[in-house]
Structure 1
Amino acid sequence: MTIAIRYVLFAIVSTLVNFATQEAVIRVAPLGLSILAGTAAGFAVKYVLDKKWVFYDGYTSHGDEARKVTLYAAFSVLTTMVFWGFEIAFWIIWQTDLAKYAGGAIGLAIGYAAKFALDRRFVFQAAAA
């Protein structure tokens, strides 16, 4: 299985974790908190899967791992803004759960495509080279 296929499969897994978390949290908290919780859950799952199964990146030191997580998180902020923008815009326009999740899926797809290039180039460069 190629690196791109694994990345896409794990992006789907992360998206499902994100949406499932949102759906669970929305029952007890406002929309904003559910989106934040879903994003955090998706981030954690995606980092572990990318590190271990996409880029085959091993652990070297606390400092190196902190650098990788920091870079991964920084790139995630930009791509998360795309995701949130689509999800919230679709919610505002159509005000349905289906629209919110469709917008989120579109935003995540765009964000993950950009993030793959950034992660491969800057975060997990030694493992991907």
Structure 2
Amino acid sequence: MIALWYALFALFSTAVNIAFQYISFLVYEGFLSLYVAMFIGTVAGLVLKYILDKKYIFFHKPKSKKDDGKKFFLYSLMGVFTTLIFWGFEIGFDAMFESQNAKYIGAVVGLSIGYVVKYFLDKKFVFKD
């Protein structure tokens, strides 16, 4: 059942990420706009996914705000590697295909792979207690 919830949260976080990227492109389409949008989407998806994973996947109850901050830092650190996967796919699809939607397809592929890897990293290093 955890795998199903994790997959649903990953889908929801992916949708939030893509939505924030889309909004970013509506606001700004200038120099490095893809990277600005990817950053904004990543932050939005990261915060949402942390809250959902912490509470419903790993059932972690922070002992204090400091503990919660430490967990979020570790969670984010584990996300650096998986973010590189996600960004690599998004940038790659954007460069290889001339469709406006290619970057979003690449983002979904990269996020899907990244979330699977991230679950195991989080289980082993972040929420191990």
TM-score (norm 2): 0.92
| Mapped pair 1:25 → 2:28 | no
Distance (Å, rounded) in 2 between the aligned partners of 1:97 and 1:58: 42
Post-superposition CA distance 1:72-98 (Å, at most 9, x none):
011111100000000000000103232
AA at the equivalent of 2:19: A
| Mapped pair 1:70 → 2:70 | no
AA at the equivalent of 2:76: A
- Look up the match of 1:60: 63
- Look up the match of 1:12: 11
- Look up the match of 1:111: 114
What is the SS of the residue equivalent to 2:59? coil
Distance (Å, rounded) in 1 between the aligned partners of 2:92 and 2:2: 32
Post-superposition CA distance 1:13-62 (Å, at most 9, x none):
00000000000111112222111111110001000000111111112123
TM-score (norm 1): 0.92
Structure 1 segments, 4+ long, off by >6 Å, are none
Percent identical among aligned pairs is 44
**Unmatched segments (≥5 aa) in structure 2:** none
Distance (Å, rounded) in 1 between the aligned partners of 2:85 and 2:115: 10
Distance (Å, rounded) in 2 between the aligned partners of 1:11 and 1:77: 16
| Mapped pair 1:80 → 2:96 | no
What is the SS of the residue equivalent to 1:117? helix
- Look up the match of 2:128: 125
AA at the equivalent of 1:12: L
AA at the equivalent of 1:4: A
What is the SS of the residue equivalent to 1:125? coil
- Look up the match of 2:2: 3
Task: Note if contact 1:3-1:55 (Cα within 8 Å) is conserved in structure 2.
Answer: no
